[in-house]
Amino acid sequence: MERIARSDAATHSIRRVQNWNILPGVIAGATRRSLAAPRHVRSALLKSIWIELKRFGAPNVRNIQLTDIDGIGDVRVEGPVLRHCPLVLCGLGALLDCRTIFEFGTNRGDTAWLLAHNLPRARVYTLDLAGPEAVQSAELELTDADEYFRIWDRGARFRDTAEANRITQVFGDSATFDFSPYAGVMDLVYVDASHSYSYVRSDTEAAFTMLSAAGTIVWDDYTHYPGIYSYLNELASALDRPIFHIVGTRLAFYSRRDLVRGHAGFRADNRALEGLSRD
């Protein structure tokens, strides 16, 4: 193994390196690798840049750092590290001591199980279509049909687990589902079903009818789907309280609780953007 020779300490000099010093090398390397890399690698780079541009240019949804949420640093949750957004969701649920949770979009049931596992006093209701045959008769526009409807294993993750008795599966098209039994009682509503503008709008309108007096709504995939991004930025300008996006996640949320420091102004947005420059 090669050893790097150490020069005499007396010959050392201070060398200060700033971002502009490394900029030419970064640009040259990015250009070279973009030309040589497979198409999917270039697409991933462009997607990351586009996500940051959307985040920076959001007209009404405010950007915050996770640390801007009061008390979140004291929360401990357990779950797979590869799925950090659901862990943040569970952290919010634990911070708010949520007892009633409604989820749009069960899929395998990973998030429903994770919520029930980390919030042992909570009851989770999770809604999805009744079966793959319902896809053809969906009331509004479905997205990602090839990914989410090829294999039908709704609720497989929590079935026969210790948490299963606190998870209630309900079935139907969320655009026509009767939400009246859940009106005004949900401490947390998680919107993660179809990602089209029309379904997100419909699901969000239903979410507000279910929200308790101190309730919170969390949307997944805010940064990744144009329908969600567009609708939430339209909605945010019409609400009594802000919608926040947590930088470093796909999540956006609205809460009737005062969770974010400085939410009355734009100081939170400034801290978040400063945080991006430190990453």
**Model confidence at 173: pLDDT above 80:** yes
Q: How many structural domains is the chain composed of?
A: 2
**Model confidence at 197: pLDDT above 80:** yes
Return the H-helix or E-strand segment holding 44. Answer: helix 39-57
Is 168 inside a domain boundary? yes
Residue 198, domain CATH: 3.40.50.150
Residue 180, number of CB atoms within 10 A of its CB: 9
**Model confidence at 186: pLDDT above 80:** yes
Q: What mean pLDDT is predicted for residues 141-159?
A: 83
Do both 31 and 133 map to the same domain?
no
pTM of the full structure = 0.87
**Model confidence at 104: pLDDT above 80:** yes
The closest alpha carbon to 100, from 15, 167, 196, belongs to 167
Instruction: Report the C-alpha gap between 159 and 108 in whole angstroms.
Output: 10
Do both 39 and 169 map to the same domain?
no
* pLDDT in the model for residue 273: 42
* pLDDT in the model for residue 13: 84
Is 14 inside a domain boundary? no
Do both 78 and 33 map to the same domain?
no
Do both 220 and 104 map to the same domain?
yes
**Span 41-82, pLDDT tens digits:** 778 888 899 999 999 999 999 999 999 999 999 999 999 988
Higher pLDDT, residue 180 or 267: 180
Do both 67 and 27 map to the same domain?
no
Is 84 inside a domain boundary? yes
Instruction: Report the C-alpha gap between 66 and 72 in whole angstroms.
Output: 8
Do both 148 and 265 map to the same domain?
yes
Is 212 inside a domain boundary? yes
Which domain range does residue 168 map to? 60-278
Do both 48 and 183 map to the same domain?
no
* pLDDT in the model for residue 269: 46
Is 12 inside a domain boundary? no
**Model confidence at 116: pLDDT above 90:** yes
